[in-house]
Structure 1
């Protein structure tokens, strides 16, 4: 018999089940609602959600903050001429989309491309054809830019282009740093750049980095209460915090001397192509650096050349100084009483500690007195002097002259150098500048003891700093030691006179008629990555240190040149082409910066930022010739700089705010052409010496990125 199960057997109590499910749902719902109530109660009581204060968030939602940008402080030369200051640059762009309209519903795109290209070619270093090509791309584009020529435009150029009222032409503003002198102690002054998305500038090298906190300033803000549409609420207060502009840094640099040194260095760089050069002019009695530069260098206004060398070679590079170090060796020997100038020694070579020290002249000079070792720059003689002192005394004097220690000059990244002094051979070769690594400022500091009557001066690049709150800190000359006496210093100076005045002295190439000069030359070997030293006539660091006038030192000039690739003349002649005119220019200036009286000279007036016609009239009235570069009507840079003393009839170059065009250089001297190259930042191949006879770029041609050739001939 078949048994059938009733449906109630599987769901016997449907009403009860529904009731249980309903109760369960009500419980869950009440639990969730309770959670919401508790959460809302907590939020209402505490006023926070996920650690965010709701009141503050609400205020933020209905307030507008505007950043008030602080102005970065300026870097000035010793007399207040601007070296670096705050500015804005502009990038030009063109809208091509024909749907674009301005607020008056007028076309806001380039309507007449040919006309626009023609007008823009007057202001950009770009041909009309290239501009037109940019305005006529092969595909639909909303807007276009104009590459490098369309960037970093000055406010003056922007205003002139705006005045043309060209539809569709706009500018993007970028906070920038203005370096009006271009190549001008570039690694010393340094750079300030925007970092990441920040609009504020930060010093990334040189004095810009060293004094970034002083220069940067503090941004302010304007805070207003607004409604949802951004309109200010009635009776709402505006909170204002005024921006505090950055302070000011005064350097010790003399703009006239600095610009002249840059010109001389550029000439040597172009002609002989050394892998590196440094040059520093220092006041002998204060330690103040009046001019300082290096090669490779860069144009701070454009950044051109920055990729070739980021380091400041004056403080960040170690090198073996070579025979200039003999100044210190002689000073130490005299001061210690261990110098016996009348003792004879056999020059040429000497064996020591399993090695051999050779003189630069093969075979030497025979048996000669130690008094000849210094003017002849005999390595063997210096070893004999070091041996007479003994390693202990010699090391004491190396310490007294503060080798192996940073000078503390106010520049970032200074190295401390290194002294190898473990073996007798190491100790001996330091006497002629090998086995010891220094930086340029350490050498200048040591030489200052000789030029300043025994008192050693700390090299100084900053004269004073004015902070954001107006407080002034003055950097006074600082004596950091007295390793030798006044009498010893005088004897060393006299020995340096023999270097330049004796017929067989190594410094005869530096002799200057009518100048009481004391010098010491140097030829330092360069260590090879494979061990030992490089060989070859040009694989040295050639150097010279000079003091003038020797009877009452006012200036110390120290030059070093590494591995000239086109060594068509002796190293001494190459360095002398910088040393002699630079020292003469310095000697024409008194210690306080005033130029000596001369009826044939005049002071170049300041015409930067003046109208072109006004500037030309001012210079002509001062009896100077004027050359103009550019199509603008306002002067943005001049060379030589204002305050420089120059001969009547000499040429002053003016760079205007218009597009740069090639002037007629016929008859220009090479020094004037070097000023032109420095002013424009363009690359030219200079052939020959004397005066310009030929130029490959015709006068009036727009100066783009193409380099040209300028030929010279002696008259």
Structure 2
């Protein structure tokens, strides 16, 4: 090939290579272009690698805030509030800028700030100054410990009016109870779970727990799109799902009788120092619980005392009831046709199998008719009735009366109790209330068959609930059917009258002039590690009463365990609750609305507490004294900033009212104060107090008129 041919070939090959390369570049360009177009289409559709871009964008730019649902209320039989939703406040002070360029107002005049805050917080001025001058130079804001938390709206508003620079508040959801001690274990307790927007109030005891779902409601929320600075975008619209507030629980409790019962219980507890007590007043025709209390108890508002008794003794504690069970034994014997009142038996003791069972009076009363067994509370007589009935018949009636199973009352953690029937001895002892463990509610249910002419009633504490959407659920009268004949019930009630009226009866302490009263007393042994406890006070004493006995409206059941100050008979101790409470209940029935607040022969009238907060100390003292109250003042200030009982709360005539004034707190003279009064002092001051001994306060570790220290520790009172 000549040189010219070679040159032409080279040029041709070069041209071909360029064409191939050009085509290749074109193909690659088209492929890349197609990929970009496809990718653009996918992104335009809002997805990348199966990831929803639109959803991501909204998530990044959407701010959601919780709308807290308001917890519903618990009210009494007349619709008066017992528990309701509230807020408490905590105070803090900003003393240095929180960040560079912060224009937040700071505390500028610490001296004035401390002086003013001391008027409303349970802290002295010098203590507040210590908080406002922390040792660390890095501290930018300070709080004031427990004294600066849990503040009421009234106190918060008073401080806010001062417009103190650098003083701020945070709020927390809380629960407000109208009375400090008011069927505390029945109403229950709440706690706050979570923090900030996620904080919710949850019931942990009593009705607050049982109806927690209804009371809680449902939180709502607000969602809006915001920019990087948190401002809502002008092109967006906030989306709101409204909160659904909680419903309302209507109880059967009569506040007048409940508050009076609490007062009577506190007096007996202070005087005789029993380890435990319960008392329940029930409508004998409907099963509605009118008043219910126990000791130890606790403050609904502060929780003080809850560590002494976590359980609701009315439904959670099972115990041997003792001789009050004889109401059911006599009922079963009469109803089954195995009661011959004119049959005689030898009292004192009886042999059952290998065991000798005794009367409470071991020597007995000689040979007596069965008609006297119930009146004298003879254990041997009841064993004789059980033997005449036969164990299977007696066991049948025990189950009919509801022992060994829950009543279904609307309170959490109800104990079903136990029924021991394994041998002849336990079968016999159940006839006088041993070998069977019951609850207060089970006893009330069983005794209602006698008070309600043979038809047994379920005890109930709730009349109805109203959900947030308006749905009403009624808890009306519920019966468990006819347990005994009407004639049987009437015969048993006549026997209960003899317990009070007869010279041989055990219930003479419950006799009331002009009142038709029938009762059965009880004295139950307490099981220990090595058999039953011994000693005069190591018993559970009890009484069950039906008034008026001919056609009962009220069924009152009281138990008292191991009184430490055994200065009177157990019957006399419990009568100090029984007789005044029955007197008031009957008076409320008979009196007009105006006379309903004047209820006992002991001049124990009650009325709604007047408001004296923000009044001058002298004017408040004069007004309360003229109204018949016993006034105690904490502090030497000229203005009242807090009061206990609070305005609107029912208070008995002659009861003690505590006033907290502005200025430093000084100790009042507590001589003659009851334990409940000391608890009021602890509540209003925020200090820890301890009452040593039983009875009324007679000495105090800090003299009257002296400043109450701000430091920790417990202030001690001695009682005798």
For the residues of structure 1 that align with 2:407 and 2:50, how far apart are their CA atoms? Answer: 51
For the residues of structure 2 that align with 1:364 and 1:677, how far apart are their CA atoms? Answer: 52
Deviates more, 1:547-556 or 1:692-701: 692-701
Give the aligned partner of residue 480 of structure 1: 480
Work out the number of aligned pairs and report it.
673
Residue 548 (structure 1) shift: 1.6
Decide whether aligned partners of structure 1 residues 608 and 411 sit closer, same or farther in structure 2, where only a CA change above 3 A counts.
farther
Give the aligned partner of residue 14 of structure 1: none
Give the aligned partner of residue 150 of structure 2: 152
Give the aligned partner of residue 124 of structure 1: 121
Give the aligned partner of residue 604 of structure 1: 607
Give the aligned partner of residue 498 of structure 2: 498
Give the aligned partner of residue 6 of structure 2: none
SS at match of 1:551: coil
Give the aligned partner of residue 10 of structure 1: none
Query: Matches of residues 441-452 of structure 1 in structure 2 within 5 Å?
Result: 441-452=441-452
Decide whether aligned partners of structure 1 residues 659 and 332 sit closer, same or farther in structure 2, where only a CA change above 3 A counts.
farther
What is the TM-score normalised by the length of structure 2? 0.83
Residue 85 (structure 1) shift: 0.6
| Unpaired segments ≥5 residues, structure 2 | 1-31
SS at match of 1:604: strand
Residue 578 (structure 1) shift: 2.0
Query: Matches of residues 210-359 of structure 1 in structure 2 within 5 Å?
Result: 210-359=210-359
Note if contact 2:221-2:241 (Cα within 8 Å) is conserved in structure 1: yes
Question: Residue by residue, what CA displacement relative to the aligned partner does 1:69-118 show, whole Å, maximum 9, x if unpaired?
Answer: 1111111111121111111111223344x445899846514x44444333
Decide whether aligned partners of structure 1 residues 129 and 268 sit closer, same or farther in structure 2, where only a CA change above 3 A counts.
farther
Decide whether aligned partners of structure 1 residues 67 and 462 sit closer, same or farther in structure 2, where only a CA change above 3 A counts.
same
Note if contact 2:658-2:680 (Cα within 8 Å) is conserved in structure 1: no
Note if contact 2:669-2:703 (Cα within 8 Å) is conserved in structure 1: no
For the residues of structure 2 that align with 1:706 and 1:196, how far apart are their CA atoms? Answer: 31
Give the aligned partner of residue 698 of structure 1: 704
For the residues of structure 2 that align with 1:304 and 1:42, how far apart are their CA atoms? Answer: 68
Give the aligned partner of residue 552 of structure 2: 553
Decide whether aligned partners of structure 1 residues 518 and 480 sit closer, same or farther in structure 2, where only a CA change above 3 A counts.
same
Note if contact 2:77-2:251 (Cα within 8 Å) is conserved in structure 1: yes
Query: Matches of residues 556-595 of structure 1 in structure 2 within 5 Å?
Result: 556-590=555-589
Decide whether aligned partners of structure 1 residues 222 and 147 sit closer, same or farther in structure 2, where only a CA change above 3 A counts.
same
Decide whether aligned partners of structure 1 residues 276 and 354 sit closer, same or farther in structure 2, where only a CA change above 3 A counts.
same
SS at match of 1:218: coil
Decide whether aligned partners of structure 1 residues 39 and 496 sit closer, same or farther in structure 2, where only a CA change above 3 A counts.
farther
SS at match of 1:380: helix
Question: Residue by residue, what CA displacement relative to the aligned partner does 1:446-492 show, whole Å, maximum 9, x if unpaired?
Answer: 11111122221111101111111112222211122221122211111
Residue 594 (structure 1) shift: 5.2
Decide whether aligned partners of structure 1 residues 363 and 467 sit closer, same or farther in structure 2, where only a CA change above 3 A counts.
same
For the residues of structure 2 that align with 1:366 and 1:42, how far apart are their CA atoms? Answer: 108
Note if contact 2:284-2:451 (Cα within 8 Å) is conserved in structure 1: yes
For the residues of structure 2 that align with 1:511 and 1:234, how far apart are their CA atoms? Answer: 80
Decide whether aligned partners of structure 1 residues 107 and 231 sit closer, same or farther in structure 2, where only a CA change above 3 A counts.
closer
Deviates more, 1:260-269 or 1:180-189: 260-269
For the residues of structure 2 that align with 1:566 and 1:278, how far apart are their CA atoms? Answer: 18
Give the aligned partner of residue 178 of structure 1: 176
For the residues of structure 2 that align with 1:622 and 1:338, how far apart are their CA atoms? Answer: 63
Deviates more, 1:410-419 or 1:302-311: 302-311
Decide whether aligned partners of structure 1 residues 458 and 383 sit closer, same or farther in structure 2, where only a CA change above 3 A counts.
same
Decide whether aligned partners of structure 1 residues 666 and 204 sit closer, same or farther in structure 2, where only a CA change above 3 A counts.
closer
Note if contact 2:104-2:166 (Cα within 8 Å) is conserved in structure 1: no
Note if contact 2:697-2:717 (Cα within 8 Å) is conserved in structure 1: no
SS at match of 2:450: helix
For the residues of structure 2 that align with 1:145 and 1:536, how far apart are their CA atoms? Answer: 54
Note if contact 1:113-1:135 (Cα within 8 Å) is conserved in structure 2: yes
For the residues of structure 1 that align with 2:586 and 2:705, how far apart are their CA atoms? Answer: 37
What is the TM-score normalised by the length of structure 1? 0.83
1:75 and 2:74 correspond: yes
For the residues of structure 2 that align with 1:659 and 1:421, how far apart are their CA atoms? Answer: 67
Alpha-carbon RMSD across the aligned residues, in angstroms, is 3.9
SS at match of 1:590: helix
Deviates more, 1:549-558 or 1:179-188: 549-558
For the residues of structure 2 that align with 1:433 and 1:411, how far apart are their CA atoms? Answer: 25
Residue 200 (structure 1) shift: 1.6
Decide whether aligned partners of structure 1 residues 423 and 535 sit closer, same or farther in structure 2, where only a CA change above 3 A counts.
same
Note if contact 1:450-1:490 (Cα within 8 Å) is conserved in structure 2: yes
For the residues of structure 1 that align with 2:118 and 2:475, how far apart are their CA atoms? Answer: 48
Deviates more, 1:565-574 or 1:44-53: 44-53
Decide whether aligned partners of structure 1 residues 38 and 255 sit closer, same or farther in structure 2, where only a CA change above 3 A counts.
farther
Decide whether aligned partners of structure 1 residues 633 and 465 sit closer, same or farther in structure 2, where only a CA change above 3 A counts.
farther
Deviates more, 1:669-678 or 1:578-587: 669-678
Question: Residue by residue, what CA displacement relative to the aligned partner does 1:634-674 show, whole Å, maximum 9, x if unpaired?
Answer: 77764796678x77xx5684767979967977998979958
Residue 47 (structure 1) shift: 5.7
| Unpaired segments ≥5 residues, structure 1 | 1-32
Residue 588 (structure 1) shift: 1.7
